[in-house]
Amino acid sequence: MRIYREKDYEAMSRRAAQIIAAEIVHNPACLLGLATGSTPEGAYRYLVDWYKQGLLSFKNVRSVNLDEYVGLAPDHDQSYRYFMQSNLFGHVDINPANTRVPDGLTLDAKAFCDEYDAFIRAQGYVDLQLLGIGRNGHIGFNEPGGFFVKETHVVDLTESTIDANARFFASRDDVPKQAISMGMGAIMGAKKVLLCASGEEKADAICGSVLGSISPSCPASILQLHPDVIVVVDEAAFSKLAAAGFQA
């Protein structure tokens, strides 16, 4: 695990964008695993800027997203498909046919999830998987629990996640209670993982993931078993690691 300790959100975003851009330059037809939420917004902004400056092309890039809320249509302004369109896909030259986000409206979730995993496996897994992290240590929507779930699956969101995501909705009641999430099989199958976190509220989750025991009670701790993980955090998210004497 390589850890980049950056000054603030902006520096974290720039570093993450550099790592994603390097992957695209190195492998123009790479399969990127993408995340949504506040954490990657800044990195996507840098990537869009670099595309507009002619420094980067997404022409042959392919992508699969980690998750989507159950029940939200792609054009719902809180759906993750909508997020990807507004923060990245809509501003770069990626071929829309090469982008995948789980279908929150699927009528056959089991078949959909199986197909999603089959697609990722058939591509030889993701080249670079971008991850944010929940305050409870979730990655994708793999919530803390008694075991790690391998397959893409429908998950009941925890109260902590619903609370955290209520800020995006008119009221807490409007937050969907379920999501479709990639499982740990697809995440751990990625050739490289880029985990980003910003802010003090992520400090415990980051510390637990890096230094804690590997346990489904802190889902991101499974990344300790992955051979190629880059963690990019700002000072606030690093603070509990610093307090534990961890050097980066």
Q: Catalytic residue at 138?
A: yes
Query: Minimum distance between the CB of residue 133 and ligand F6R, rounded to whole angstroms?
Result: 6
Token readout for 112 is: 């959909």
Q: Is 136 a catalytic residue?
A: yes
Positions 44 through 83 that interact with ligand F6R (CB under 6 A): 66-67
Q: Is 140 in the site for ligand F6R (CB under 6 A)?
A: yes
Q: Shortest gap between Cβ of 198 and ligand F6R (angstroms)?
A: 8
* CA end-to-end span of the chain: 11
Site for ligand F6R in 79-138 (CB under 6 A): 132-134, 138
Q: Which is nearer to ligand F6R, 109 or 166 (CB)?
A: 166
Sequence-distant (≥ 6) Cβ neighbours of residue 114 within 8 angstroms: 151, 152
* 37 vs 176 by CB, closer to ligand F6R: 37
Is 205 a binding residue for ligand F6R by CB under 6 A? The answer is no
CB of 193 to ligand F6R, least distance (A): 13
> Residues near 241 by Cβ (< 8 Å), separated by ≥ 6?
3, 203, 206, 207, 210, 211, 233, 248
Q: Which has the closest alpha carbon to 115: 61, 186, 178?
A: 186
**Closest CB to ligand F6R among residues 36, 221:** 36
Q: Which is nearer to ligand F6R, 44 or 141 (CB)?
A: 141
Residue 191, judged by CB atoms within 10 A of its CB (0-12, 13-18, 19+), counts as middle
What are 8's two structure tokens? 């603030």
Report, in Å, the least distance between residue 53 CB and ligand F6R.
26
68 counts as catalytic: no
Residue with tokens 């937050």: 175
182 contacts: CB under 8 Å, gap ≥ 6: 33, 64, 66, 67, 102, 116, 120, 140, 152
Interface positions with ligand F6R (CB under 6 A): 35-39, 66-67, 132-134, 138-141
Instruction: Please give the positions annotated as active site.
Output: 67, 136, 138, 143
